[in-house]
Each structure stands twice: as structure tokens, then as C-alpha cells.
Structure 1
Amino acid sequence: MIVNRWTKVEVKALRLAALRLTQEQFAERIGFQVATIRKWERATPGRPVRNESAEALDTELARLTDEQRARFRAEIDEVREAAMSLARQPAEAARDSLVLGDQHSAAEVEVDVKRREFGMLAGAFVLAAGGDTSAGPIRIGIADARRLNEFVAYLERREQNIGGVSLVESAVQALGTAKHLLDTCAFSEEAGRAFIRATGDLATIAGWLAYDSDLYPLARRCYADAFSLANQAGDDPLTVHVCMNAALLAVSRVRNEDPNPHRALNLAGRARQVARGHAHGPSRIHALIATREAQAYGVLGDRAAYRKAIATAWREFDFAVDHESLDDCPPWLRFVSATEIRYHEAQAHGRLGDQAKSADLYAGLALEHAGARNSAGYRAGSAAALAKVGDVDAAVDQGLSVLADLEGPVSSTRILRRLESVRAAAEGRSEEFTTRFDELEKRVVTA
């Protein structure tokens, strides 16, 4: 198999899919610096890897076993298929979607295509509600609720891979459309309840996308909508879900205001009260509630309460692993894993001032099965902890791997903000990190 032009798509397919190596391991194997590998993984069709670097990659490709070569080819084919989905859109959507040029990789094309699809799906709701209104108001049916649920599920899946910034605008626009339909359309009791629930789920994911985009006032408005819709539908699981997201928002620091741990504790308490009303409630719910409490107690500096909360999180999670099927959990709970709980444990130790312990916990996170956005968030937390304990070289090295993700498929302002302490520590020590961080921050400010 021959690669005519090495871009970040082919380089990552070789390193990750074929060889299954970290950047550090790949650099050692191929005989280049880690910084060079990162540079290759930012290459575009207009600026591909060239000369001796391309020859080195050609050599590694030729050395692959049949199994490794099959994995490499499958990864390339998957990315190309994503790019080709553009051609299968209606002509008008394709023309408006984006202009393909050398500056776009296939992965970037796929992200843009899907973002346009969100807008097309939201428009479908408007079309479904269109038509002659002289005979009375338009009716919402179960099929409309099902279509909205599919849209929400797709947002949730994509967020795990690409973060919130690329998705939030489409989600908020769709939420406005769905709320308008509820205000102006007729529906049966069953269809109305289903559509209200679906709109509540949409408000919840829209709030999370806004949170990930560092748009906290917008996130609060979305969560307020979600609470109201959950109450209208009598949907207790949705209430718990919103409480968990809003609690995490409450313990997060905004630039011009401090966290509100008491608000987080109140939300966690409300979630526990609602969850206890359901004897079949998964233990993962209670594990997640306990992590929110652990975060709040970390902000408050209450070590005893923190230890009790995190112990509860581990106990509930262990019970879930032994006695509950993951398939029986609602999709939004399936991310609750040992890695996720350890991440909250590491965060809370950082808030308590135990930076060395925090750094140790971050170092033990298992990232193999984390989504791209979660993986970047975990590594950003690790880099920040390392910077705070004075291990600047390790912090910069970890931080650079996060910047590479943020320059590529992952778009999360929240994760970039987590690297601010690394940016401060890198001043005068790593021109590469400071330059790349500043470029990304400039992009956020001007967006």
C-alpha cells in the first residue's frame, strides 16, 4: 500500500490504528522528536509531510504486518467515507455546506457536514409543522418526538468525540424551534408528554454544550428550560440528569465569579431525593451524585465530607459493576466509569490544595476507552496539576498533546481554559506551547 500524500489523517491512522502507539512511543520507534510527530499530526493536504519525514513514514508503512496494514486501510476508508457523505446530501445543502479546499482534512469535512446536518434536522421540525392552518393548529405526533429524540442522541454521541463548541449553536436553535412548536401546536396527551420529554433532553444537552463552550449564562438558561420541561412531563430521570449537569456547572469557576458549592450540594440533594423514589434506580446515579458532592466539598475545603462522598461514589460504582448491566442504564449514565470517578477524585484533591496527590491520580487515569473529548479533558487536568506542582516540562508535554486535539477534531473552550496554568508556567520555557495556546485562545475570542 502506498500513501501519495501524508496528512494528519494518514499519520494518525498509522500511529493509532495500525501501530497503536502513543506519540512518545512512535517518536522513539521512528527516530524523531515528539514535537515533530505532533507537527506531522497537524499536516493538511495543502501542507503535507514532505522529504525525509515522508520517507520515514513510507518506511514504517512498508514494515506493517498484514493485520496492521488492514487496520490502517480500514481507518483511512472510514475517514474517507465520512467525507464522502457530503456528496450524498441534497444539492442545495451540499452547495451551502462548505467549499472543499486544501485547507480541509477529511476529518474536518466530516465535522462540518454533521454540523450542517443538525441544522437540516432542526429545519425538518419546522417543515413538519408547516402547511395550511385554516383548519386549526398543526398537530405534533409521536413520530415528531421520536425524530427529536434521534437528534438529541446524535448530539450526545458527537459531543463525546468533538466537544461542544461545534455543536452548541445548532442545539440551541433546535431547542428554540422545539419550544415554539410546544407553544403553538396541538397534540394528544401521550404525544405531548413524549415531545416535552424530548425537548427537555434537548435542553439538557444544549446546556452541556454551552458549558463545554464556556458559555455559562447560556448553559444556565438551557438548564432552567430543562427543569421546567422535566416538571411538565413528570420525568424524574430527566430531573436527576439536569441536576447532575447543573451541579457541575455550579462548582466551575467563571472568570468573573466564584464557584457556588452550596448550590451544587442543593442540586445533588434534590437528585438523591428524586432517585430514591425509584427502587430500581441504577447505582451509577448515586455514584454520580456522590462525585458532585465530592467536588463541592473540595471547593469548601471540607476534607472529612469529601472523603465520605468519594467513598460513597466508589461503593456505589463497585455495586453497579457487580450487579447492574450497563445496557440497562440510560445512555447519559453509561459514561460513569472508574476513570470518571478517579477524574473527579483528582479534581477535588486539586481544589483541596493537594496538588501532588491530584497529579498522581491524574497519572493513573485509564484513557484507552475514553471519548476524544473526555480524554482531552482528563489530560488537561493532568497538565494543570503538573504545572501546579512545578513539573513544568511534564506539564508542557501533556499540554501539547491536548492542544493538538483542540487544533484538530475537539472543540472545547472549557478544556482550553484548564490549560491556563500551564500557559503561565510555560512562559519563557516553551515557545511552542505559548504560541499554540495563544493562537487557540485568539480563535476563541474572535469566534
Structure 2
Amino acid sequence: MTSVIGANIRRFREDRDWSQARLAREVCRAAGVIGEPVGRQEISRWETGKRTPREWLPFLAAALSVPVDALRAPQKPAESPLPTLADFLPEDDPLSPLGARTGRRIGMSTAEVLQQRVHGLRLADDVLAGGDLIRPALRDLRRAVKLYRENTYSSEVGRQLLRQIGELAQIAGWIASDAGQHEEAERIYRIGISAARQAEDHTLAGNIAGSLAYQLSNTGREVEAVTLAEAALNDAGLGAPPKARALYLDRVAWAHTKAGGIEHGQQAMRALGEAAEALSEDTPGTESPAYLYWVDAGELRVMESRVYTELHRPLRAVPLLRDVLSDYDATHTREMALYLSWLAVAFADANEPEEAVSVAERVIAISSDVASERTAERVRVVLRKLKDFSDVPEVAALLTEHQTA
């Protein structure tokens, strides 16, 4: 349980918008020590109450520019504390150095090569599924972490390596999730959140956290998903690029949608509206991280249509999905199958089983060639939905043909 001192350390740190890694460096600087006897992991232990700073307390106070008594003073409970990503960091620190680093000295060119590999993997994910990419993705992530832990480099190069590990963890986690390896994906995402926060890249941390929230939404952990999606939005702050805020809000909308209930549905619709407003601020000349290249108005329409489908509002969902699919890139077969699956469900909700069957046949045909657990699960969802219309000949024939699914 978090101690009074731990809660105060965290509060003062977040007031300064510092990561745990940044506070660790400032404490060591205040103490005048060589090396890093206090690291991100130790700060985490202090904040969660697993350890007490004791002799480090004066240096903590100096680093945070507060009196020592301020760290000991009980605080009045906040009205409703906002969730933060610190609650979702891994228990240990998989990015900590391996004792005395014995590797070579590396420069920014090494980080740039890693950046190119990350981007290549992300582009490959546009056209290939998780089952095809899981091995190279995990291999690249292991190599990147090993590179960071074993070699020496400047602080600037170290931060860039951490950013690339974060980006790599985001796409590797996404690939693992698509392959149905959800525990592995969660572990990878948490490493990525840690790397991004240590690099003090709040936009990247929010992107990774949103990806994990999306997985939690789809795997029966809806309450956690809402907390994490909102933490990603809160931690990134209003300074995040418009595309990033739009994506965070999309994840918030989906998390509330999957949580179910009238109130969550209203929160989902509100988040969708705010996502559209955020994206409208992405004017020419506005800079966004390269990994957000795919976030555009079309993707927001996709999420909006999916939310309407899940909320059983087919009259809103069907036109949106048809519009999106009419000019969607056919080379992105996995996404095509996923979006068609929501269209099939929307037709079923609209009491149009024949139309639903026609779309379902396309979903099944496309999914048969895609090594994705996401599309496989959506096929199962569509077939379960069609069972409500088993007395319709077209539906009965489809269910009989694919009963093993």
C-alpha cells in the first residue's frame, strides 16, 4: 500500500511533469554521487511504499525543491485522482543495465538503424498478420533491449534507444496480440511504456498504453481498459499532437463501449466527438510522430461505426461502414476482414440476415488466408450473431458449412 511519503514523492514528481527516471537522476545529482545508485526502479519502490527512502529523503526534497517535512506531511484526499501510467509499469525493470557494461560504445547511427527496422516492421504489419510477423518482431525487440542494456552511449543516444524500444514494443505488442498471444503482448506493452517514460516521451507512452487498453477491452478486462485508456490521455496532456490526442480518445471511446451500459455508452460518444475535434486541429505544418501516419478521418469513422455497432445502433453504423469500405485499401486484408465483420453484425442488428450472410461470406473468405486471431475471433462473433436467424435458409446454409468455426 502506498505510504504517505510515497504518495508525496509521486505527487511532487508529477507536478513537475518528471518521469521516475528523471527524478532518479536529479536525486543522484543532489546527493553528488557518481553513477546511478538510485534508478527508476528504486523511485517506483519508494512511491508504492515497498521501500522507505530513509537517508535519501533530504536529497529527494532537494531534487524536488520542497522541505523534507512536505514529504512527510499527510495530504487531504483528492476528489477523484486521475489514473496515471505509473500504475501499469512492470514490477521489475527489464531495461536496467546489466551491471558493468562490457559492450562497445555506440552512437546515434545505431539508434537510427534501429528506427528504420521499427518503421519497416510497422509497414509490414499493414499487409501481414500477427502469425506471420511474431517471430521477427520478438527477435528485434530482444536485440534492441540487449543493445540498450549491454553497451555504452551518451545520454542523448540512450534516450533515442529508449524511444525506439518503446516504438518497437508498441508494434511487437500489437503483432503478438494479433497472433493471440495476449499475455506476451501485455508484457511487451508494459516494457514499452517503461521505455517511453524513461525517455520522457509522453506521446509515445500514451500510444503504447492505448494499444494495451485496446487489448484489455477485447479480452474481458473492460474496467482496467477504461482506467488505462484514460491514464494514457491524462498523462500525455494537452500538449500532445492532435493526431495523438485523437487516437487516445478513440481508445477511450472503445474502452467505454466495451464496458457496456448507458453511462459508458454516453462516455464513448463524448470521446468520439472530442477525437474528431482533436483531429481537426491537425492543420498543415503540425508535426506528429511518424508512427501516427495511419491516423486520419477515415480511421475515426471506422471507430465511430464500430462503436455504433457495439451499441446496437445499426442505422448509424451501416452507412458509415459502407462509406469507409467503399475506398479502403484492399491490400490491408486483415483490416478489411475486421471492418466487414462489424458490417455483418450491423446488418443482423438491422434485421437484414440475407445481407449479413453476404458480408459474412466475404469475411470468412478473407480470414481464411490471414494468420490473425483477431479475424478468427470476429468470424466466431459473426457466426454466433447469425444463429438468431437460423430459420433463414441462407443463414442455415452458412452455419452448416462453417459449424466447426
TM-score category of the 2 structures, normalised to the smaller one = 0.5 to 0.7
Partner of 1:197: 163
TM-aligned CA deviation for residue 154 of structure 1: 1.0
1:362 equivalenced with 2:321 (yes/no): yes
RMSD (Å), alpha carbons: 3.0
On the 8 A contact 1:230/1:236 being kept in 2, the answer is: yes
Partner of 1:384: 345
On the 8 A contact 1:207/1:220 being kept in 2, the answer is: yes
Identity of aligned residues (%): 25
TM-aligned CA deviation for residue 199 of structure 1: 1.3
Query: Which residues in structure 2 correspond to 1:276-287 (within 5 Å)?
Result: 276=237, 278=239, 281-287=240-246
Partner of 2:260: 301
Q: Please state whether the residue corresponding to 1:328 is helix, strand or coil.
A: coil
Aligned match for 2:377, one of 395, 404, 417: 417
Q: 1:312 to 1:413 in 2, by over 3 A?
A: closer
Partner of 1:162: 128
Partner of 1:76: none
1:397 equivalenced with 2:363 (yes/no): no
* TM-score under structure 1 length normalisation: 0.59
* TM-score under structure 2 length normalisation: 0.65
On the 8 A contact 1:284/1:317 being kept in 2, the answer is: no
Give the letter aligned to residue 242 of structure 1: I
1:145 equivalenced with 2:111 (yes/no): yes
Give the letter aligned to residue 416 of structure 1: A
Partner of 1:374: 335
Give the letter aligned to residue 245 of structure 2: H
TM-aligned CA deviation for residue 364 of structure 1: 4.0
Structure 2 gap ranges (5+): 1-100
TM-aligned CA deviation for residue 400 of structure 1: 2.3
Separation (CA, whole Å) in 2 of partners of 1:290 and 1:347: 14
Q: 1:309 to 1:423 in 2, by over 3 A?
A: closer
Count of residue pairs brought into register by the alignment: 298
Separation (CA, whole Å) in 1 of partners of 2:380 and 2:302: 19
Structure 1 gap ranges (5+): 1-134, 442-447
Query: Which residues in structure 2 correspond to 1:36-435 (within 5 Å)?
Result: 136-253=102-219, 258=220, 260-276=221-237, 278=239, 281-318=240-277, 320-321=279-280, 323-325=282-284, 328-354=287-313, 357-359=316-318, 361-370=320-329, 371-408=332-369, 410-424=370-384, 425=386, 429=394
Q: 1:413 to 1:434 in 2, by over 3 A?
A: farther
On the 8 A contact 2:341/2:379 being kept in 1, the answer is: yes
On the 8 A contact 2:134/2:172 being kept in 1, the answer is: yes
Q: 1:309 to 1:417 in 2, by over 3 A?
A: closer
TM-aligned CA deviation for residue 213 of structure 1: 1.7
TM-aligned CA deviation for residue 156 of structure 1: 0.9
On the 8 A contact 2:166/2:205 being kept in 1, the answer is: no
Deviations 1:53-93 (A, max 9, x none): xxxxxxxxxxxxxxxxxxxxxxxxxxxxxxxxxxxxxxxxx
TM-aligned CA deviation for residue 147 of structure 1: 1.3
Q: 1:330 to 1:372 in 2, by over 3 A?
A: farther
TM-aligned CA deviation for residue 225 of structure 1: 1.0
Deviations 1:300-356 (A, max 9, x none): 334345335434433442453465238732233232333322332333334334456
Q: 1:338 to 1:306 in 2, by over 3 A?
A: farther
